Amino acid sequence: MQARIQPAQPPYPDFAQKHFDRLMPPGVAPLALFTTLAADERLFTRFMNAGLLDHGHLTLRQREIVIDRVTAACGSEYEWGVHVAIFGEKVGLSVPQLTSVVHGSAADSCWVAQDEPLLLRICDALHQTALIDDSLWKEAGVTFSEYAMVEILMLAGFYRMVSYLTNALALPLETWARRFPSRD
């Protein structure tokens, strides 16, 4: 697949290289998404400053479930595959859970922790209607603080935007990233 916009080429501008050095593991080339945005300093800087990949109100596992569900729902195999390759094993997502996050539902038996099906339901509601009804909000409030809920909303929205970018720019899949699992 040919990307619709040509990415920046090495040597990268200083503003971009600083981010690449901080974000990418040694020996791993910057993501196509990052190099594509690095061709425009303003867009690159705005994108990089909007991230939520820090220690916030959610655990790393909760954050990854949200990211994986949103990117899967949007059909962004690019972003889903990058996140699963980097964080999937680290947060202990099993093969059945990864399959469920792409093809399944919150009712799948692989989800045993109370908060995980709830995260899937929140992501699904946001994807389908762009809101969370009062009943689901109240139920989520038992498990998540108000600011954790805001973080979930921001995270879901940010990764929907990332999915738009990766899909609409027709970014080629990273060779080392995971692929969507089959429905089996």
Q: Which tens digits make up the pLDDT trace of 163-179?
A: 999 999 999 999 999 99
- The pLDDT of 1-27, averaged and rounded, is 92
Say whether pLDDT at 54 is over 80: no
Closest CA to 122 of 56, 54, 65: 65
In the chain, CATH 1.20.1290.10 sits at 60-168
Say whether pLDDT at 53 is over 70: no
Q: Could you tell me the end-to-end alpha-carbon distance of the chain, in angstroms, rounded to an integer?
A: 26
User: Which pLDDT band holds residue 52 (cuts at 50, 70, 90)?
Assistant: low
Q: What is the pTM of this model?
A: 0.92
Percent of the chain with pLDDT over 70: 98
Choosing among 1.20.1290.10, 3.40.50.720, 3.30.1330.60, 1.10.10.60, the CATH entry for 60-168 is 1.20.1290.10
For residues 164 and 160, give the distance between their C-alpha atoms in angstroms, rounded to a whole number.
6
Mean pLDDT rounded to a whole number for the chain: 95
